[in-house]
Amino acid sequence: MQIDHPFDGLSHTLVPASGPINSKYLFVGESPGFEEDQAVPPRPFIGKSGQEFDRLYLPMALLRRREVRVTNVLPFHPINNRNPTVDEIKFFNHFLQDDIAASKPEFIIPMGYFATRYFLGDVDLGNTHGMLHRNKRYPNVAIIPTYHPAAGLHNTDTQALIAYDFQQIRLALEGKLPERPVDQFP
């Protein structure tokens, strides 16, 4: 589907969420790449990082791609893979919010810097990844940020961190991951 918008260097092809609408698990990446944008139909996480996600990391959480829902904070491909802008994320926010309202996930897994900050605010991924967070805006949802699967493509140290994060997801699904204590001092 082609969507009219005012942004430069951003594809007009909507890459919608994929996976079962009634899945308990919603994985949220950054923005689609060229392969996701060009696919017929367009689909999130089907390029190189998507293959790592499906074949390497999801199995570490004992999950399969067909049972999880997958989307992005920005559902359009930024040309040359530039970072999404705050204005773009805000402008298209309704796509993600509508999807969360419709799919009612129990677990949201933001993958990477942009998605983690979208759900948890001004935080550092290094201090938050692999832990179970809560946010008043999404009552009864466990939020477990991970490093982005693409970050492991060329860096084996990061690969180990992503693997750790997906093993933490498994523990959370089994009810064995303690919640991160909420800071009482705003």
Q: Nearer to ligand URA by C-beta: 68 or 177?
A: 68
Question: Which H or E run includes 167?
Answer: helix 156-173
- Per residue in 87-97, is it b (16+ CB within 10 Å) or e — as a string? ebbebbeebbe
Closest-by-Cβ residue to ligand URA is 29
Q: CB 118 → ligand URA: shortest distance, Å?
A: 12
Buried-state track 166-184, b at ≥16 Cβ within 10 A, e below 16:
bbbbeebbeeebeeeeeee
Provide the 8-state DSSP code for 77: P
Residue 180 beta carbon to ligand URA: minimum distance, rounded to whole angstroms? 24
CB-wise, 105 or 177, nearer to ligand URA?
105
Minimum CB–partner distance for residue 153 and ligand URA (Å): 11
C-beta closer to ligand URA: residue 45 or 107? 45
Across the chain, the runs of DSSP E, i.e. the strands, are 25-29, 69-72, 107-110, 142-143
User: Which residues of this protein are in contact with ligand URA, per CB under 6 A?
Assistant: 29-33, 36, 44-45, 47, 49-50, 72, 150
What amino acid occupies position 105? P
CA distance linking residue 153 with residue 133, whole number of Å: 27
Shortest distance in whole angstroms from residue 70 CB to ligand URA: 7
